[in-house]
């Protein structure tokens, strides 16, 4: 059995893993029904406008989901798409899905940090089939990336909000269909440019835009990576049941979004699929640098957290290893940034320990994090101010790709290092506290061992003394 090592993660190759021969053709297949549906819906939008007069709305103003809902009876394949996405497979167990939804909130700080620094930074940058699409949509420009991240979190929050939200017709279910249509729009647009102008997207090398293997990879990033590639590196160990339940939720999402579901049938198969992606999808190129660079720039000095680029780089190195991070051009931060990140890890692992110890505390924390995330990401003015309909804003255009960009925010101006980056100062304090606790426990333990040893020695002396006086 061959052992593979990717970053800090190693695993053994088994018969459940996906062979290269199985993976390669999946680069060239994609959600054809989704592609048909967006083409048809655009025709319908054109027809409607022709009969009403006036120009056809640009793609970013088209409500494809609304068009689908209203016109699905006019075309057999539109109806098929609607029926398939609204049919619940017989393997769906709603009680399990409901348990799975809690996983996101239960370990929210670790999950979000892991998703950003390992999922986005480690995996999206390293998979050319994904990163080459991302830089062509413009959504990876530092001016737009933050909104894209918020929209991705909106999707995550909506599919985990409640059972009704993820059941057919619920907000999370509708958002998932919108994402599927958005993907198909991106694909259609890129394929059309490649067909008419050429030299735009190397389909031979990269496969089709938003193809089957990329989609399977993305589902593993959303569902499996937390349990094996992210939380354990922060000292958080979800139970097997929690992992299985969360994967079950995303197996259902895969069904709605048009991704093959058999790879997520069991937890063992899903884990093997995740590991197969680490082997088949990892190939760094120049685009990886751009995606990583813009990602760091977007998050650096973002109020109110104001975290530094060094903190982000330290976290990325903990998850993804130095080899990958050097190759994508990340800086080498000082020990202070690592200490702050370690403080974060100790904080989330202490929280998880207390949650495992007390179900009441767990319920409180899970509920609190859920309310806070929904407020901050979806409802607040600095977030999505009520939510996004995931319009097709960043339309790929010939000759337009995103390069490395800076950000326009100035670093915090406070003179004192304590108040300049309060979050990092707090995390550093957690690190110091953790070290003090460790040293205190070690001292107490060595004292206890010393006392035990002295007692044993005294007992032995007593025995020797008694046996001598007996003689
Ligand atoms: C099947 C699993 C996937 C899920 C659950 C998913 C999720 C999402 C979500 C929530 C959005 C909307 C928010 C945003 O704009 O970021 C989105 C948009 C997008 N996704 Fe995916 N995605 C998946 C697969 C993929 C794959 C394989 C690619 C290939 C490159 C891809 C490329 C994109 C692009 C280009 C956008 C539009 C960005 C824009 O508007 O500029 N996605 N995806």
Of all protein residues, whose CA lies closest to atom 21 belonging to ligand 1?
183
Cβ 258 under 6 angstroms from ligand 1: no
Q: Is 277 in the pocket of ligand 1 (CB under 6 A)?
A: no
Domain count, the chain: 2
| 438 within a domain of the structure (yes/no) | yes
Within a domain: 460: no
What is the per-residue pLDDT for 132?
87
Ligand 1 centre to CA of 417 (Å) is 38
Q: What is the DSSP letter of 222?
A: H
Do 427 and 358 fall into the same domain?
no
What does the pLDDT average to over 182-199? 91
Which of 145, 178, 218, 400 gets mutated to test ligand 1 (max ligand atoms within 8 A of its CB)? 218
Residue ranges making up the domain that contains 246: 12-379
Q: Give residue 171 CA to ligand 1 midpoint distance, Å.
A: 18
Nearest residue to 376 via CA among 300, 299, 304, 295: 304
Residues 344, 447 within the same domain: no
Q: What atom in ligand 1 is closest to the CA of residue 258?
A: 1
Q: Does any ligand 1 atom lie closer than 6 A to the CB of residue 219?
A: yes
Give 152 Cα–ligand 1 centroid separation in angstroms: 8
Domain shared by 61 and 139, yes or no? yes
The Å distance, Cα 213 to ligand 1 centre, comes to 14
In a domain, 403, yes or no: no
Q: Are residues 77 and 154 in the same domain?
A: yes
| Mean pLDDT on 20-32 | 96
CB of 187 closer than 6 A to ligand 1? no
Q: How far apart are CA 355 and CA 267, in angstroms?
A: 24
* Residue-wise pLDDT tens digits, 277-336: 999 988 888 888 888 999 999 999 888 888 999 999 999 999 999 999 999 999 999 999
Sign of CA dihedral 103, 107, 108, 110: negative
Is the C-beta atom of 215 inside 6 A of ligand 1? yes
Q: Report whether residue 393 contacts ligand 1, using a CB cutoff of 6 Å.
A: yes
CA of 183 to the centre of ligand 1 (A): 6
- Cα distance between residue 81 and residue 34, in whole Å: 7
Quote helix, strand, coil % in the chain, to nearest 5.
70, 0, 30
Task: Grade residue 167 by pLDDT with cuts at 50, 70 and 90.
Answer: very high
The tens digit of pLDDT for each residue in 230-287 reads 999 999 999 999 999 999 999 999 999 999 999 999 999 999 999 999 999 888 888 8
Q: At CB < 8 A and 24+ separation, what contacts does 302-306 make?
A: 302/146, 302/409, 303/409, 305/423, 306/412, 306/420, 306/421, 306/422, 306/423
pLDDT tens digits, 367-397: 999 999 999 999 999 899 998 888 777 777 7
Which of 277, 453, 299 has the alpha carbon at shortest distance from 316?
A: 299
Mean pLDDT on 35-43: 95
Nearest one of 121, 115, 132 to 190, comparing CA atoms: 132
| pLDDT, tens digit, 9 for 90 and up, residues 107-141 | 999 999 999 999 988 888 888 888 888 888 877 78
* Tens-digit pLDDT profile for residues 341-360: 999 999 999 999 999 999 99
Residues 364 and 429 in one domain: no
For residue 471, being part of any structural domain is answered with no
Q: How many helices (H) and strands (E) does the chain have?
A: 22, 2
pLDDT band at 199 (very low <50, low <70, confident <90, very high): confident
- Across residues 150-173, what is the average pLDDT? 97
Q: How far is the CA of 121 from the centre of ligand 1 (A)?
A: 15
Span 3-7, average pLDDT: 90
Check residue 462 and give its pLDDT. 78
Q: What is the Å distance from ligand 1's center to 138 Cα? A: 13
Considering the domain architecture, whether residues 368 and 441 belong to the same structural domain is answered as no
Which residue lies with its CA nearest to atom 19 of ligand 1?
183
Q: Is 459 a domain residue?
A: no
Contacts of 25 (CB under 8 A, 6+ apart): none
Confidence of residue 415 (pLDDT cuts 50, 70, 90): low
From 346, 379, 412, the end of a domain falls on 379
Q: Please provide residue 421's backbone torsions phi and psi, each rounded to the nearest 5 degrees.
A: -130, 80
Same domain? For 235 and 96 the reply is: yes
3-class state of residue 43 by DSSP: helix
Which of the four pLDDT bands, split at 50, 70 and 90, describes residue 470? low
Q: Is the CB–ligand 1 distance for residue 183 below 6 Å?
A: yes
pLDDT at residue 7, as a whole number: 86
Q: Is the pLDDT of residue 441 over 60?
A: yes
pLDDT for residue 414: 66
Tell me, yes or no, whether 164 lies in a domain.
yes
pLDDT at 459 over 90: no
Does this model's pTM top 0.75? My answer is: yes
Residue 155 Cα, ligand 1 centroid: separation in angstroms? 10
> Peptide bond before 290: cis, by omega within 30 degrees of 0?
no
Kindly state whether residues 147 and 287 are assigned to the same domain. yes
User: pLDDT value at position 87?
Assistant: 97
Instruction: Choose among 129, 92, 65, 123: nearest CA to 316.
Output: 123
Q: What pLDDT, on the 0 to 100 scale, is given for residue 184?
A: 96
pLDDT digits (tens, 9 = 90+) for 55-103: 666 766 788 999 999 999 999 999 999 999 999 999 999 999 999 999 9
Ligand 1 center from residue 82 Cα (angstroms) = 20
Nearest ligand 1 atom to alpha carbon 257: 1
User: Measured between alpha carbons, how far is residue 269 from residues 5, 247, 266, 302 in Å?
Assistant: 19, 11, 5, 38
* Whether the CB of 106 sits within 6 Å of ligand 1: no
Calpha distance 150→141 (Å, rounded): 14
Q: Please report the pLDDT score of residue 374 as a whole number.
A: 96
Q: How far is the CA of 143 from the centre of ligand 1 (A)?
A: 18
Instruction: Please work out whether the CB of residue 122 comes within 6 Å of at least one atom of ligand 1.
Output: no
């Amino acid at each position: 059995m061959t052992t593979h090592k990717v970053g800090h993660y190693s695993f053994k190759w088994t018969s459940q893993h996906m062979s290269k021969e199985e993976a390669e053709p999946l680069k060239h297949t994609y959600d054809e029904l989704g592609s048909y549906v967006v083409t048809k819906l655009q025709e319908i939008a054109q027809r409607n406008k022709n009969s009403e007069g006036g120009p056809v709305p640009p793609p970013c103003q088209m409500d494809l989901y609304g068009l689908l809902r209203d016109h699905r009876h006019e075309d057999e394949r539109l109806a098929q798409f609607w029926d398939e996405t609204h049919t619940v497979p017989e393997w769906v167990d709603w009680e399990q899905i409901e348990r799975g939804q809690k996983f996101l909130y239960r370990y929210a700080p670790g999950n979000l940090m892991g998703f950003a620094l390992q999922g986005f930074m480690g995996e999206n940058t390293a998979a050319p089939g994904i990163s080459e699409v991302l830089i062509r949509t413009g959504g990876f420009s530092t001016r737009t990336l933050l909104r894209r991240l918020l929209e991705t979190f909106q999707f995550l929050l909506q599919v985990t909000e409640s059972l009704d939200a993820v059941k057919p017709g619920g907000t999370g279910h509708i958002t998932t269909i919108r994402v599927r249509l958005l993907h198909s729009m991106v694909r259609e647009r890129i394929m059309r440019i490649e067909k008419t102008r050429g030299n735009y997207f190397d389909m031979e090398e990269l496969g089709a835009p938003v193809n089957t293997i990329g989609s399977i990879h993305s589902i593993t990033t959303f569902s499996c990576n937390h349990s094996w590639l992210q939380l354990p590196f922060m000292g958080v160990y979800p139970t097997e049941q929690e992992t299985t339940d969360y994967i079950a939720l995303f197996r259902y999402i895969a069904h709605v979004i048009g991704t093959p579901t058999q790879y997520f049938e069991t937890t063992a198969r899903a884990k093997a699929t995740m590991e197969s992606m680490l082997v088949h999808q990892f190939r760094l190129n120049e685009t990886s640098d751009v995606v990583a660079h813009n990602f760091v720039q977007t998050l650096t000095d973002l109020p109110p957290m104001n975290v530094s680029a060094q903190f982000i780089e330290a976290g990325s190195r903990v998850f993804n290893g130095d080899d990958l991070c050097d190759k994508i051009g990340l800086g080498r931060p000082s020990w202070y940034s690592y200490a702050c990140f370690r403080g974060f890890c100790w904080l989330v692992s202490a929280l998880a320990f207390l949650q495992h110890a007390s179900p009441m505390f767990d319920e409180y924390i899970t509920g609190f994090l859920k309310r806070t995330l929904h407020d901050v990401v979806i409802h607040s003015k600095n977030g999505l101010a009520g939510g996004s309909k995931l319009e097709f804003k960043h339309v790929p255009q010939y000759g337009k790709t995103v390069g490395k960009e800076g950000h326009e925010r100035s670093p915090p101006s406070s003179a004192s290092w304590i108040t300049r980056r309060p979050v990092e100062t707090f995390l550093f304090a957690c690190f110091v506290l953790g070290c003090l606790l460790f040293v205190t426990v070690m001292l107490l333990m060595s004292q206890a061992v010393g006392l035990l040893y002295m007692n044993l020695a005294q007992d032995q002396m007593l025995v020797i003394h008694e046996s001598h006086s007996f003689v």
